[in-house]
Each structure stands twice: as C-alpha cells, then as structure tokens.
Structure 1
Amino acid sequence: MTRRTDIDVRPVTEAELPAWDRALNTGFLQAPTSPDEVLRARRRLFVPGRLLGAFDGDRCVATFRSFDQEVTAVGGTPVPSDAISNVTVSPTHRRRGLLTRMMAQDLAAAKERGDVVATLIAAEYPIYGRYGFGPATTMAEWTVDVPRAGLDPRWAGPEDGGRIDLVDGEEVRKLGPELFERLRLAQPGAVSKPPAWWQARTGELRFESPWTEPFFAVYRTAGGEVEGMTAYTADDRWGDAKQPLNTASVKWLIGATPAADRALWRYLCSIDWVTTVKSGWRAPDDLLPHFLPDPRAAHITSQADWLWVRILDVVRALEARTYEAAGSLVLEVADAAGLTGGRWRLEAAAGGKGSCTATTESAELVLDVRDLATLWLGDESAVRLAALGRVREERAGAAREADALLRTSRRPWCPDMF
C-alpha cells in the first residue's frame, strides 16, 4: 500500500484531464473511459487551480472540483460561494485522508478569495459535517396521478389568458437566463446558473452520452411576457388493453410567478397519453398539489436534504440576510478548521436588516459552524437542534429567540444539482 505521504494532492493540469476524468467515472461507478465529446466539454470548462486530484504515481485516484457560484440569502442578496462538485476517492485509496487534504486546500483558497460560504449537494449524509457543512435546504419529488387530479380533459390552456409554446434549445438559451434570475433573486437557497448550465441542458455541451433532447415548453402571459419554462421527457409504456400509461418526467421547471407554475403544471398534466407526472426536485412546501382540483393526486415519493452550506465568514453571512423580527443574540460559533469561529453579537432591526460584530460578552447560544449553516437559510429550528443536543442555550429562551429571528415564512429551496 502506498503511504499517504507518497500521494500527491495538487491542481490538475489540462493535460491530466483524461486521467482525472477516468478517476471521476470510477468513483461514480460509471464506465471508466468517457467519450471524446465529454472530454471536450470538460476542457471548455477547465479553470486552472479549480480541479484538484490525488496522484499515486501517474494514476489519479481522487477528484475534486470547485467553481464560482452565488447563493441567494434570505431577503434576496446574492452571496459569493465556492461550489464544490465531482468529489470522488477511488475504492483502492479510501481512508487515507485524501478528501480531507483536498477539502482543506479548497476551503483555504475560497476563504482567501473572499467567498462567504461553500456549497455542495451531498451524495452521502455522514461525510461533510466533519468539514463544517450543514444541510440547509430540503428537496421533495412529487408524483402526480393524472387521472385522479380532477382536471378538465377538454381544456389544457392557461386560465389567465396566457399561452404555452413548445420551443427548441436555442430559444431556451436565449430566454432562460433572464427568467431564472427573476426566480433566483426571490428564492432563498437558489444558486446561480452559469452559461454552461444552459448549454449542457440544451445539448450544446454534452456531459452525457448519448444525450437525449427533452421537450421544452414556455409559458407567456396574456401580455406576451415570458414567466415560466420547463424541460421534460416522456417514456413509452402501454397497458395490456392498449391503453397509454406514459410518464412525463420533469427535468427542471422555472416559474417566476405562481400563475406560471400553475400553467406549466396543468400543461404537463394535460399531455395526451401521460397518466403520471414526476416533478423532479422541488421545494418541500411546493404549491404543486394545490394547483390540482384534487391535491391528493400528488404525493411525495422522495424527500431528503439537498443543498449543504459551509460558512466561511460568519459576519458577512449573517449581515447578507434579512430577519423576520427585531432582536439581539450573542452567538458562540465553534469551527474546528479555524476558518471563522468566534463570538458574535447579532443585532436585527425592525426593517429586517442585521449587523454582526465580534464581542467579548457572554454567549447566549453556543453552536458549531455546521449547525449555524443549517440555520442560516431559515429552514431549521434552533429549538429542534437544542433538543438534539447540537445547540446549547447559555441563557434560557435563546433558541426560541433565534427561531424568531432566523426562520422564514416559506422554506428555502435550491432547484439545482451541481
């Protein structure tokens, strides 16, 4: 077995991309060798210093990628983030500290750049808490039993005078970014979509081979304004009596208004031959069931933690968001990595803005940086975390006061996998 000190963790060069890609595929249990078009796509997105690899001799045995991102804080402020993805360790090199070394190197660089938080989508729950990440949003997938929904099969158009149009990938790339910005800046937990996101979802960049083009539908208001868009695929399943039993699977759905969401979901439930609609990743308090005459026709088939956050700057993170009420609280934040621990006074004004300053006053609420991350977007309760022993009250009632400040009326949601 190679000693840990003999394994080199370093930024990957462009020439090393095929070796890095092979290790990535190995870690994700995919065919080791990628098609040329996938490697071409990776080269187009290559940013020196943002791909890390662990090398045992000439062989890449662990992978790590980060990229610039913004995540929307409560109140709508975009916060600079270090988005982490493509994390693998080959099965031959587990338990040698390779992820710890790559994570420490990346988070230190992110802190130096001035990123406020780091983000990721965790494939496995137990891994990332030890690096200071906490689950900050939840995802739900809904399945709609279309025949039970109670929709009028004779009418499929929007009820508000708007219209649904089918478009191609080029039109999506033209209309999508501006539309998504409207949703992103209103949705705590949403993350920015770089141009490559739109290129990959419309086939201009291909990280999947073969690539299957989805259907794209756009919702326009009666005045012609684009307020919603979705991409979906459909299977080809028929019953024994020659009845259609097809499922429409939503890849993504962007609605800038509830009216747009309603129009798109009703459109999807009105497509001929479709008897089931799968929603893709939605907020756990999504309005989808209540757009249907019978809300019981939609049920949650999967629900789990989704966006994980690692706070790199407590002051900037807490001052970036707004607050539900006026109040004051002294927080003591532990950070084993030494990136942002300390004692802070959070002051929230009646108008929603907050200030955060270092203090020597006695702590009222003591918590780890991973638990502050879980509370930051307003989805979790400090009272619940105190009951679990993850938050400690030094003053009775401090957890309840934290909830009054931090929790939000609608739950945060991250629409994307990255």
Structure 2
Amino acid sequence: MSVEIRLLEMDDDDVAQWWQARSIGYLGAPTAEAHDLEYMREILDFSRTWGAFEDGRCVATYRSFDHEVTAPGGATVPSSAVSAVTVSPTHRRQGLLTRMIEPDLRRFKEAGNPVASLIAAEYPIYGRYGFGPAAWLTDFRIDAMRAMRPGPPPGPQDGGRVVLADAQRVRKEGPWLHERIRRKQHGFVTRPGGWWKKLTGSYQPTGGDWKEPYYALYLAADGTVDGMVAYTAVNAWNGGMPDGDLHVQDLLAYSPAAERALWHYLCSIDWVTRVHAPSRAPDDLLPLLVGDARAAVTTACVDHLWLRPLDVPAMLTARSYPAEGRLVLDVRDEAGLAQGRFLLEAGPDGASCAPTALAADLTLPAAALGGLYLGDESAVRLAALGRLDEERAGAAAAADTLLRASRRAWCPDIF
C-alpha cells in the first residue's frame, strides 16, 4: 500500500493522528487529550506541517517554521527550523523523511532563508541533508557542599538581589529577559510562547512528567530583571543526613553578577547535596563561579544545534568578524542549494560575499560550512579529519582567524 505525503489538515482526526504518530516517535503518550490538540492547533503552521499517511493512519511527521538564529556579533539571521521529525517503527528505511525534508529545504531556499536549523536527536541522520553541528551543550553535576567551600559565598556585589517568583511573573518577565540575552549570545534561537507555557505549566502534555518548579529572579540594583532560574527538587535523607537533588530546568543570566548570584543561590539551598545543571554552554563560567571548580563535574558534552547553509552570501555577510581577512570558499552541495564558489572579504567593520571565479582556498561540503558558521568549530580540525580540503597552504588557519568566536556558541533550547 502506497504512503501519501501531504499537508496536515486542521480537523480533529488529522491533528490527533499526527500528534499520535509524533508521540509514538518520541516515546510519549499514544493518545492525545483535548488540551493536546488545542495546543497543536495553536503552535502549528498548517501550511508547513506534513504527515505521511497510509490507509488513513499517520506513520511519519514533519514540520517547519520561521525563527531566528543569533550569529557572532549579535545579528539575528532568519532561519527555517525543522522540527517534529518522526517515522513510525513500522515504516523505517522507506525514504519518508527524504520525501518531506528535501522539498521543504528547496522551499526554504526560494523563500530567501539564509540557513535552515534543527536539533538533531541522532547524529548520523542529518549530515546527508547538508546540516552540520554548529553548537554543543554541556551537562554539569555540582556537589553543592563542596562548591560552597571554604565558606558561605558573599552576597551580590552590585547591589542586586535574588527574589522568589511565581509562574505568572515568569511568564511576564521571562520572554523579555530571554530576548535581551538572545541579542548578544550567538547560537540562541527565538523562543516561542509555547516554550514558556510548558515551563510554567500552562500546557502540560498528556503522559508528561511535568512537576511544578520553584522560580527565582535576579534583580539588579535598579530593579531590572537580569537573571532567572526555574528548578525542581527531590527531598531525600540518607543515614540522618540530607541527600537531596536539585534539577535546573532553565537558568538565564544577562550579566556575570546575575549568573554568579543564581548559582550561589542554588548551591546554598538547605538539604540540597547535588545540583544537576543540563544544557549549559560548553565553556560555561559555572565551574569558576563556585568555591571549588572541581565540584562542577561535566557529565555530558554533546552536539545540539545543527545548521544547513542555503544562501551563502547572505549568511556570511550577516555575522561579524574579529579580524581582516579574505577567503575563497568552494562549497559543494549535492542538493545544489548552496553550491558555488564565493569570495568572502571581511573585517570588524563588515563583510562582503559574492560568487567568484577565483581559485579556491578551501573546498568544503555545505555541512562543514554549517558547522563553522557560529565560530564554534575549527577549519584546521575539519581539515585534519578530511572533512574539508585546503587548496592553499595555511588557508584553514586563516579561516579560523576569520571565523572563530571568542566564546563558544550556545543554544539551550529544543525546538
């Protein structure tokens, strides 16, 4: 029986079928409740939500939507985000994802998007579609008792303070704070309203394990909200001693003072012996903000945000560059979307990029350029791995001088 790829319709049966297929793919609840369908209708763009249907049943899901990715220097780059990619176990290896993503990437290109983006659940899948890992995440486990040695940390030195908050205030202040940080932190992406509904419990997916968090804000001396944390805790005792675990759901800080104060606050909570802090930047300040840096142990460091070049001149001229440089890139792309040879001339005052017939300095696949774009990957490393070719001696090192950023890219969100 043939499988039909088509846009999702807004009627209850279609949305329920799509939700169920997506949920099965993500090992969630197999049956949707009314509030799940209402939430889906709210967040989905039905002109960009696809399903694979066989005999009336949805067996694969796919959606895309517009958002922005912050590039080095703070410019926000329009991107088409790929999300909700699932294929039911009964229909694996039948090319269903290819039939959905390849036409959509062409639509992205025609719509003028410089890049496409996604969060890769599995590493081997998306390289063949031209995506490369552009930002990584680190998970920490903090020994709270050790972190606070040799004694209680001093309070904030800038006149700020940490205050408890409720979900209503977080829904009001959180989006504004995130937007301020997004404007300066490369790798950040637009955070839609549905994200805040999940964090604060306004929407709780059927079958989920949502637990009401505690919330705290960091207020600068003038009352500005410069930081926010949401966390849950498990109260446990062992041999008459506290043995509790605190789990950070989200921690945002606009200033180093806010970041320091919030970590000290979490590590100072009574009965907490371990703080679990996932989804942090790979070069997060956390270990050096506590009294004993070894108290913050890295438990995972994984690729997270992947980017796919679509319009090479547009994407390269959108970001900033720390030094003057000139580079000819020969971009190879089997899909033809980003194919071409381009001259990049860039410096602190701006950049230009245009097609050229000049000899290439580097030859690289589109996925490699996606990985280099946010300044997190090294062209020298990719050359050593055979993932790009250095056509001119020293070109990879020159590319690193031009493209690398002083801090690593960070995207804490899943979309």
Shared fold (TM-score greater than 0.5)? yes
Corresponding residue for residue 163 of structure 1: 161
- The whole-number CA distance in structure 2 between the counterparts of 1:196 and 1:28 is 18
Q: Deviations over 1:170-225 (max 9, x none)?
A: 10111111211111111111001122222221122233545321111100012211
Measured after TM superposition, the shift of residue 153 of structure 1 is 6.2
Which consecutive segments of 4 or more residues in structure 1 shift more than 6 A?
Answer: none
Matched, 1:394 2:404: no
2:235 partner letter: D
1:402 partner letter: A
Measured after TM superposition, the shift of residue 244 of structure 1 is 1.4
Matched, 1:369 2:374: no
Alignment of 1:300-311 (within 5 A): 300-311=298-309
Q: Deviations over 1:342-368 (max 9, x none)?
A: 00000013x242110100111111000
- What's the secondary structure of 1:136's corresponding residue? strand
- The whole-number CA distance in structure 1 between the counterparts of 2:164 and 2:142 is 22
Matched, 1:385 2:378: no
Corresponding residue for residue 237 of structure 1: 236
Provide the aligned length of Structure 1 versus Structure 2: 412
The one of 37, 52, 64 aligned to 1:39: 37
The one of 286, 289, 311 aligned to 2:287: 289
Unaligned stretches of 5+ residues in structure 1: none
Measured after TM superposition, the shift of residue 138 of structure 1 is 0.9
Corresponding residue for residue 9 of structure 2: 13
- What's the secondary structure of 2:215's corresponding residue? strand
Alignment of 1:197-276 (within 5 A): 197-207=195-205, 209=208, 211-239=210-238, 241-276=239-274
Contact 2:316 2:353 in 1 (8 A): yes
- The whole-number CA distance in structure 2 between the counterparts of 1:279 and 1:330 is 41
Contact 1:343 1:363 in 2 (8 A): yes
- What's the secondary structure of 2:372's corresponding residue? helix
Matched, 1:325 2:317: no
Deviates more, 1:144-153 or 1:74-83: 144-153
Give the TM-score normalised by structure 1: 0.96
Contact 1:136 1:309 in 2 (8 A): yes
- What's the secondary structure of 1:65's corresponding residue? strand
Corresponding residue for residue 94 of structure 1: 92
Alignment of 1:58-97 (within 5 A): 58-97=56-95
Corresponding residue for residue 338 of structure 1: 336
Corresponding residue for residue 280 of structure 1: 278
Contact 2:153 2:264 in 1 (8 A): no
Q: Deviations over 1:217-269 (max 9, x none)?
A: 10001221110001111112211x22211111111111001111001000000
Measured after TM superposition, the shift of residue 152 of structure 1 is 6.7
Distance 1:308 1:383, change over 3 A: same
- The whole-number CA distance in structure 2 between the counterparts of 1:184 and 1:141 is 20
Give the TM-score normalised by structure 2: 0.96
Unaligned stretches of 5+ residues in structure 2: none
Contact 1:27 1:89 in 2 (8 A): yes
2:3 partner letter: I
Contact 2:326 2:346 in 1 (8 A): yes
